[in-house]
Structure 1
Amino acid sequence: MVDEPDAPPPHDTNDAPRPARRRSRTAAPAEGGSEKVAPVKKASAKKASPRKSGARKASKAPPRAGTWALRAAKAIGLAAAGLVVVFVALTMIFAVVRPPTTPYMLAESVRQGGVRHTWVPMDRIAPAMALSAVAAEDANFCRHWGLDLDAIRTAIDSRLGGASTISQQVVKNVFLWHGRNWARKSLEAVMTPVVELFWSKRRILEVYLNVAEFDTGVFGVEAAAQHYFGRSAADLTNRQAALLAAILPNPKERSPVDPSAFVNRRANAIADGAATIRGTARASCFM
C-alpha cells in the first residue's frame, strides 16, 4: 500500500489577518485607557419653524380694508374729541373774556379790508336796546335753556325758517359759520346748551349785541349807534333801539334812518313788546 503524502492542513479562516476597524467616535475606550472621545456636535443652524416663517410672510402683506376703516374711524374720533375739548375750553374762557373776533367778522374784514367794531359792556348799552333785541328776536329768552322747542315746532309746522333763539345766534356767530344747512344747524343745536351751561343770560345777550351785524362791515351795537345816529349805545332812545332791532336779521337790505313801511311797522311792534316785558319775568334774567 502506497503511502499518500500528507495533505496540507485545512486553511483556518479565523487565522487570516483582518483589516483594522475604524473606531467609532462614540465607542467606549479600552479598559484602563485614558482616551477621551469628543462628543458629536449637532448642527448649529436651526431651521425656521413653519409658523414663524408664515407669520413673517403675513406681516409683509398689505393691511386689509377693514384695518384701514378702523384706523380712519379712530382718527376721526380723536379729531372730534379734540374739537370738543377746544370748544368747551373756549366757552369757559369767553364766559369772562370777550371774544376777540368771530369767523364771519374775520371773513368780512378780509373781504372788505376792515370792519367797524367796538366792544362795550352791558352797563354801557341802553336798557331799551337790550329789551328791544329780546322783543324782536327771542321773547322767551329768559324761559328756555337755549332752544325754544315751541318756536321750533311752530316753524316746522308752518315750514318757515327762523325759530333761532338769541343763544343759538350767539353760537353761530362766535363759533360757527353763516349759511343755511343741516350740518351747521345740528352743531348749533348741540353746542347751544353747553354755552347756556357756562354763560349767564346777561352774558349771552351782551355778546349778541356786540357781535351782531347792523350793516355791511358794521358789527356791534356801539358801532351801529355811531354809524346811524352819531351817538353811543348808552344814549340810544327807545325809538332808535327799536329801529336798530327792526333791521335784524337782514341789516344789509333794511335801514333804521330811512325805514321802509315794513321796518316802521316792525319797530312799532318791537317798542310795544319791549314795554310789555320790561319789569316782568321775561326780562329778569338780563335786567
Structure 2
Amino acid sequence: MANQSRIQIAKPDIVRCLDGQPAPVFKLSDLKRILSEQRQGWRLAQRTTTQDFIDFLEQHGKLTTFHFPFPHREETRFVWGSVPLLEVLSTLKPRCYYSHYTAMRMHGLTEQIPKTIYLNHEQHLKSQSTGGLAQERIDAAFRRKARESNNVIDFRGARIYLINGKNTAELGVTSESVTYDSDTSVTVRLTSLERTLIDIAVRPAYAGGIFEVMKAFRLAKEHASVNALAAMLQTIDHTYPYHQVIGFYLERAGYRSSQLDLIKRFPMRYDFYLAHGMKDMHYIDSWRLYIPKGL
C-alpha cells in the first residue's frame, strides 16, 4: 500500500515526464530506462518493477500496450496517448517504410481503401547471384503461385504484413505527411511514386492484383517521372526482367512513346510473365510478355 501511495503521489511528475518524451511510442527497454533514471526523483521503492510501472500507467495514466504477434518475431509497443496506428507500426523495425498497396493508397493510386498494410524492412546486403537466367527456369518459376510472406498478423480489423524486402539501400524511400484512413495526417516513411510503381509491378499480389496495378499506372500518368522510374530500375537490377512488365503497364496506361522508349532500352532476352500462376495466356511480342487472356 505504501508503494502504491508513493507512485500515486508521483503521478503528476510521471505524466509530465512521459508527455515530454521525444516520441509517444516506447519499447519495454525505454520504460525500464525511464524508471531507472527517475526512480530516485520520484521516490519510488526499489521493489517497484517495470511491470508495476506499466500497470499503474495503464490504470491511472494514458498508456496502452500494443502486442504484435508476428510469426518471425513478436513485438510489443507501449503507446502514450492517442497515436495513429501507422505511427506505431513505423517503430517496429529500424528504418522500415510503407510500400506496395499501402504506398499506393498514400499516393492516391487506388480508389479502394485497403484493409491490408504493408511495412517493409530491407534485408542485409547480400552478394549478387552469378547463376544467370535461363528461359526454362523462368518458365518453371512463374508457373507456380507467387510466394508471399507469412510474417503477417490480423490486428484491429487490419491485416499487417511485415516484409523483409530486397536490399535497395532504401532507393526512392521518402518521408511525407499523409492521410491514410482518416483526416488525421501522420508523417511516415514510404516508397516514392516511381518506386511504388516498380514494387507493385514486381509483386501484384501485394497490390490488390494486376487490375489494381494497371489502374495505378493510369492514375500515376500525369505525375510519375518515367526517367526516374527507369533510373531506379537500373539501380535495383532485379534478377528477372521486370522492365518488360513495367513497359507493358506503361503502354496500356497510355504513356507517350518517348517514355516507353526509356524502358525499351533495357535488353529483352527472355520471354516473361505479367504475374505468377497464370493459366490462359496471351503473348505480347513487343514486350516478350505473357499476360492473361482478356486483359
Give me the TM-score of the superposition, normalised by structure 2.
Answer: 0.26
Q: Which of the two has greater helix per residue? A: 1
Larger radius of gyration: 1
Q: TM-score, normalised by structure 1?
A: 0.26
Higher relative contact order (CA 8 A, sep 6+): 1
